[in-house]
């Protein structure tokens, strides 16, 4: 445990010192390719999710225009897209000054690193890794670091988030990832493969955090949970070795900076090592510019890998970041770009028949624009159903097309908390999502794998309830 923390600290110190390199952004010509997708500023650590408006949203870290290392990461931006190609910048939604106490020692450098977020009951929750570098920039002191998680909330992704709790208890470490399973339970993952189920208040845990079994000693950071075909894929950035040698970038004796994954049958594992999901930055990129004198793209020489996965209308995508844009803006691809001036890229994520992941083919072109041809909302033809505990109502021939990401209903007659399961095919068929009902009124939840023509079963579990106005939504942009 101690050893791993030391390793992480050394990597961070190494990253910090490499990132401290400052290169001027002198080239103002438009960036000529599709990846990265955000080109007017530096963005990193994207957390992508489909939101109730049917758009894909990502909240990203912001790398400083002037570089200067990871301690200069001070804010988050929100971006959204309806096709994965054209992105709208909704501006800064959180700044480190929104959380740093006014009386914090001036010598402490506060930064906000890779975030994640989730929608629940009309609110958005933003999980923030606070990273405080204590003491002077020089000497050994640089390695003294405090890192923990905070959570902020907002009524809208375009409004500033307000701190809900400045420090979630028992969260030492960085890189939170938040995941809602189809049974309605929400899990927080962070740091060195820690995890816990979140309580309804979104900042306390049900029980104690657990260190997950990930079946590898290469786990370093950047944990992410993705459910695919009923299996739980935990992905992460691997521990890596020395700086890449220009002349031997694929030196087999150097541990590469990759994203790998482990697979499990439950959100809390255990997980079995599955393989590489994303090779080092710039590996195998075709049609790009070559580093002068070499046969690979210039940013192939930088090490920082961080992944976020989202499924959108039948295709999964890996969001990661590269230094391609800094390489362009600093010297027109003559050099590798700066370590901490990263930019979000998107490429397809595909699986083999046996469930293993095909390592992502990184591209300079980016992905094709998604076209959605279906209504935003599908109302269930179910006027009102009275369900006793364990009973279900069904509607056949529901066309969920290429995907609907949320489900809502009006409920009444609620006397105690209960669940309404949304299933396909049978009362005990595939679970797409679960409404957690506490009182009469409107209730909604996210869904996984809600697509195609289906017979939908709505099943009351734990109490009696009347349901009406049932809709699948977020199937297109409102």
Binding mask 217-256 for ligand FUB (x = CB under 6 A): ----xx--------------x-------------------
- Report if residue 60 touches ligand FUB, rule: CB under 6 A: no
Binding mask 168-187 for ligand FUB (x = CB under 6 A): ------xx------------
Take residue 448 and report the two structure tokens written for it: 């996984």
- Using the CB atoms, write b or e for 154-178: b if 16+ within 10 Å: beebeeebeebebebeebebbbbbb
Q: How far is it, in rounded angstroms, from Cα 407 to Cα 399?
A: 14
Of residues 192, 238, 304, 434, which one binds ligand FUB by CB under 6 A?
Answer: 304
Footprint on residues 34-53 left by ligand FUB (CB under 6 A): 44-45
The nearer residue to ligand FUB, 177 or 398, going by C-beta atoms, is 177
Backbone angle region of 282, left / alpha / beta, with phi > 0 → left and psi within -120 to 50 → alpha: left
- Using the CB atoms, write b or e for 256-289: b if 16+ within 10 Å: bbbbbbbbbeebbbebeebebbbbbbbbebeebb
**Cβ distance 221 to 236 under 8 Å?**
yes
Residue 222 CB, shortest distance to ligand FUB, in Å, is 4
Q: How far is it, in rounded angstroms, from Cα 467 to Cα 393?
A: 10
- Report if residue 394 touches ligand FUB, rule: CB under 6 A: no
Of residues 58, 114, 364, 437, which one binds ligand FUB by CB under 6 A?
Answer: 114
Of residues 60, 61, 362, 451, which one binds ligand FUB by CB under 6 A?
Answer: 61
Residue 19 CB, shortest distance to ligand FUB, in Å, is 9
Phi, psi of 175 (to 5 degrees): 55, 70
Residue 442 CB, shortest distance to ligand FUB, in Å, is 36
Render 410-467 in DSSP notation, one character per residue.
EEE---S-EEEEEEESSTTSEEEEEEEE-SSEEEEEE-SS--SEEEEEEEEESS-EEE
- Residue 210 burial (C-beta neighbours within 10 Å; 0-12, 13-18, 19+): middle
The nearer residue to ligand FUB, 281 or 380, going by C-beta atoms, is 281
Residue 131 CB, shortest distance to ligand FUB, in Å, is 8
Q: How far is it, in rounded angstroms, from Cα 247 to Cα 257?
A: 17
Residue 67 CB, shortest distance to ligand FUB, in Å, is 13
The nearer residue to ligand FUB, 130 or 297, going by C-beta atoms, is 130
194-198 vs 441-446, strand pairing mode = unpaired
Residue 309 CB, shortest distance to ligand FUB, in Å, is 15
Beta bridge partners of 180: 186
Binding mask 69-98 for ligand FUB (x = CB under 6 A): -x--x-------------------------
The nearer residue to ligand FUB, 221 or 421, going by C-beta atoms, is 221
- The residues, any chain, with a CB within 8 Å of residue 73's CB and separated by 6 or more, are 44, 61, 62, 63, 64, 111, 112, 113, 340
Residue 319 CB, shortest distance to ligand FUB, in Å, is 12
Residue 165 CB, shortest distance to ligand FUB, in Å, is 20
Size of the site for ligand FUB (CB under 6 A): 14
Footprint on residues 139-158 left by ligand FUB (CB under 6 A): none
The nearer residue to ligand FUB, 212 or 222, going by C-beta atoms, is 222
Residue 171 CB, shortest distance to ligand FUB, in Å, is 14
- Report if residue 113 touches ligand FUB, rule: CB under 6 A: yes
Among 17, 347, 308, 301, which Cα is nearest to 177's?
A: 308
CA angle 220, 224, 225 (to 5 degrees): 135
The nearer residue to ligand FUB, 49 or 120, going by C-beta atoms, is 49
Of residues 55, 74, 142, 306, which one binds ligand FUB by CB under 6 A?
Answer: 306
**Peptide bond between residue 454 and the one before it cis (omega within 30 degrees of 0):** no
The nearer residue to ligand FUB, 114 or 145, going by C-beta atoms, is 114
**Cβ distance 409 to 443 under 8 Å?**
yes
Residue 305 CB, shortest distance to ligand FUB, in Å, is 7
Q: Which residues would be at the binding site for ligand FUB (CB under 6 A)?
A: 44-45, 61, 70, 73, 113-114, 174-175, 221-222, 237, 304, 306
């Amino acid at each position: 445990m101690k050893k791993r923390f030391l390793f992480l600290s050394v990597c961070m110190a190494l990253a910090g010192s490499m990132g401290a390199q400052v290169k001027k952004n002198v080239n103002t010509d438009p960036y000529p390719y599709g990846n990265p997708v955000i080109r007017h500023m530096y963005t990193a650590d994207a957390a992508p999710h489909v939101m109730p408006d049917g758009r894909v949203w990502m909240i990203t870290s912001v790398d400083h225009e002037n570089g200067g290392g990871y301690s200069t990461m001070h804010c988050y931006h929100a971006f959204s897209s309806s096709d994965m190609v054209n992105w709208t910048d909704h501006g800064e939604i959180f700044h480190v000054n929104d959380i740093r106490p006014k009386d914090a020692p001036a010598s402490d450098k506060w930064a906000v690193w890779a975030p994640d977020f989730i929608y629940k009951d009309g609110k958005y929750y933003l999980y923030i890794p606070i990273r405080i570098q204590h003491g002077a920039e020089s000497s050994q002191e640089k390695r003294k670091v405090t890192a923990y998680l905070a959570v902020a909330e907002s009524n809208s992704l375009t409004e500033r988030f307000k701190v809900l709790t400045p420090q979630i208890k028992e969260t030492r470490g960085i890189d939170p990832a938040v995941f809602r399973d189809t049974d309605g339970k929400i899990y927080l993952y962070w740091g060195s493969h820690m995890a816990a189920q979140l309580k309804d208040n979104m900042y306390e845990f049900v029980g104690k955090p657990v260190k997950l079994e990930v079946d590898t000693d290469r786990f370093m950071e950047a944990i992410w949970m993705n459910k695919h075909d009923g299996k739980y894929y935990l992905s992460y950035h691997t521990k890596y070795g020395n700086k890449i040698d220009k002349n031997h970038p694929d030196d087999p004796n150097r541990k590469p900076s990759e994203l790998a994954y482990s697979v499990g049958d439950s959100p809390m594992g255990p997980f079995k090592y599955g393989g590489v999901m994303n090779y080092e930055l710039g590996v195998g990129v075709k049609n790009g510019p070559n580093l002068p004198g070499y046969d690979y793209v210039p940013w192939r020489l930088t090490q920082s890998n961080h992944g976020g996965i989202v499924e959108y209308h039948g295709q999964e995508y890996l969001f990661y970041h590269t230094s391609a844009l800094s390489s362009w803006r600093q010297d027109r691809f003559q050099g590798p770009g700066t370590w901490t001036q990263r930019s979000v890229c998107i490429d397809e994520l595909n699986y083999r028949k046996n469930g293993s992941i095909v390592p992502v083919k990184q591209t300079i072109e980016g992905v094709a624009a998604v076209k959605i041809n279906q209504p935003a909302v599908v109302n269930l033809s179910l006027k009102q159903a009275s369900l006793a505990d364990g009973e279900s109502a069904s509607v056949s021939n529901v066309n969920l097309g290429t995907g609907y990401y949320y489900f809502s209903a009006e409920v009444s007659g609620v006397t105690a908390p209960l669940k309404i399961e949304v299933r396909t095919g049978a009362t005990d068929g595939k679970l797409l999502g679960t409404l957690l009902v506490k009182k009469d009124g409107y209730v909604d939840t996210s869904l996984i794998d809600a697509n195609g023509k289906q017979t939908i079963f709505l099943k009351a579990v734990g109490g009696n309830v009347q349901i009406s106005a049932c809709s699948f939504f977020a199937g297109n942009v409102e």
